[in-house]
Amino acid sequence: MILPGSTLGVLGGGQLGRMFCVAARTMGYQTIVLDPDPSSPAGRIADGHIKADYTDKAALDQLADQCDVITTEFENVPADSLQYLLDKKPVHPSPDVVKIAQNRIKEKNFAEAQGIAAAPFAAVYSEKDLQQASQVVGFPAILKSATLGYDGKGQFVVDNLQQAEDAYRSMAGVEAVLEKKMALKKEISVLLARNSRGEIQFYSPAENEHRNGILHQSIVPARVVDELKDQAIEKTIKLAEALNYVGVLAVEFFITDDGQLIFNEMAPRPHNSGHYTKDASVTSQFEQQVRVICELPPGDARLVSPVVMVNMLGDLWDPDWSVLLSEPGVKLHLYGKKDARPGRKMGHFNVLDKDVNNAIAVAERLFKRLVD
């Protein structure tokens, strides 16, 4: 076990890294962040901040020399950098896992290899692949870049081959996935923590609502039948076991209008839809990340209160904080970002209530006041 007093390294200095550092320092660990942004949210509160590119070998050497174990806060860190670090210190999640999660083609193929159905899709490596892909998938469809796509970026709804070709050209010819546009009822996500001994704790599934491709709110417990919740948890555990995963893993699923559970994507890190765990679970997802990369048993993941998590984006800055702070059942979390931009995640708030419908009503009322 890697015990308090040790130093934990993080590649990435955003809000996920920041909340990881808070959890780690609360537990008695030191933290060092590698991130090129001199004002990164995590770098500003860590014990050390190495301001360098993720591919800078001198910086990677410095991180490895100073840390006992290393993790990442987002999956788009170069996998080669993680592999370079792995030759020096333990790295969780592994570079092999990150390579799969970085690429929609690889992750969908991996999920289907485990018997976990994804929406019908076809890989697109060049424009000439689009015609055959459209015959496999049909229209309407969604053309998604295979890499670097998140929060709706790099995604285009297309109704015919011409639109697909136009969209692909706008993506500058990168690898892509053409995916059937399904009739969807809901999206849910499952979060779990697993250590190298295979010990697992999983959280209550979250019901997610998106606006403009970005998560707006997560409702927990999810308002779906127990059978689908159980299936989603079972499939997430199956993926984690197949990956020999160490860390916090989030898996998103679609629920179709006819009640099918469909794999969407996975994130090898704490996840936006898991921010509710900071206030409504026995152990937060960030404490879990600390625990499992340090070879500790994962903490109790029980839900202690129904909750609604609401994202706050740069679109609504500067809000009147008294709107939130006057509510006794609301917990405010700000990320320490200096510049507010449309679509940028600046913070979130959690609404706790013994009744989930009351929590939803309060969350909607408060968000409307912030926007107005």
Average pLDDT for the chain: 95
Phi first, then psi, for residue 216 (nearest 5°) are -95, -50
The pLDDT value recorded for residue 150 is 61
Name the CATH architecture for the domain at 7-91. Answer: 3-Layer(aba) Sandwich (3.40)
Question: What value does the mean pLDDT take over residues 153-176?
Answer: 90
Among 61-75, 135-149, 201-215, 263-277, the least confident range: 135-149
65 pLDDT above the threshold of 60: yes
Question: What value does the mean pLDDT take over residues 349-354?
Answer: 98
SS3 content of the chain, % helix, strand, coil (to 5): 35, 30, 40
pLDDT of 81-139, one tens digit each?
A: 999 999 999 999 999 999 999 999 999 999 999 999 999 999 999 999 999 999 999 99
| Residue 166 pLDDT grade (very low, low, confident, very high; cuts 50, 70, 90) | very high
Residue with more model confidence, 46 or 172: 46
| Residue 338 pLDDT grade (very low, low, confident, very high; cuts 50, 70, 90) | confident
Beta bridge partners of 281: 303
- The position carrying tokens 């800078």 is 56
Percent of all residues in the chain with a pLDDT value above 90, rounded to a whole number: 92
Is 172 in contact with 165 (CB distance < 8 Å)?
Answer: no
Name the CATH architecture for the domain at 184-371. Answer: 2-Layer Sandwich (3.30)
Q: Find the angle CA(188)-CA(107)-CA(300) to the nearest 5 degrees.
A: 45
The pLDDT value recorded for residue 75 is 87
Is 2 in contact with 28 (CB distance < 8 Å)?
Answer: no
A 10 A CB-CB count for 141 gives 28
159 pLDDT above the threshold of 60: yes
Phi first, then psi, for residue 82 (nearest 5°) are -65, -40
| Residue 148 pLDDT grade (very low, low, confident, very high; cuts 50, 70, 90) | confident
Pairing of strands 7-11, 69-72: parallel
Question: What value does the mean pLDDT take over residues 356-366?
Answer: 98
The pLDDT value recorded for residue 172 is 81
152 pLDDT above the threshold of 70: no
Round to whole Å and give the CA distance between 229 and 237.
12
| Residue 300 pLDDT grade (very low, low, confident, very high; cuts 50, 70, 90) | very high
Percent of all residues in the chain with a pLDDT value above 70, rounded to a whole number: 99
Is 174 in contact with 157 (CB distance < 8 Å)?
Answer: no
Residue ranges of the domains in the chain? 7-91, 120-180, 184-371
| Residue 213 pLDDT grade (very low, low, confident, very high; cuts 50, 70, 90) | confident
Question: What value does the mean pLDDT take over residues 238-255?
Answer: 98
Which H/E stretch holds residue 322? helix 322-325
149 pLDDT above the threshold of 70: no
**Whole-Å CA distances, 77 to 12, 74, 152, 194:** 8, 7, 19, 21
Q: What is the DSSP string of 158-173?
A: ESSHHHHHHHHHHTTT
Beta bridge partners of 210: 215
DSSP category for residue 203: P
- The position carrying tokens 């849910």 is 188
The pLDDT value recorded for residue 85 is 98
pLDDT of 308-319, one tens digit each?
A: 999 999 988 888
Which class would CATH give 120-180? alpha beta
The pTM assigned to this predicted structure is: 0.95
The pLDDT value recorded for residue 55 is 97
The pLDDT value recorded for residue 285 is 98
Closest residue by Cα to residue 348 from 19, 33, 73, 27: 19
The pLDDT value recorded for residue 147 is 87
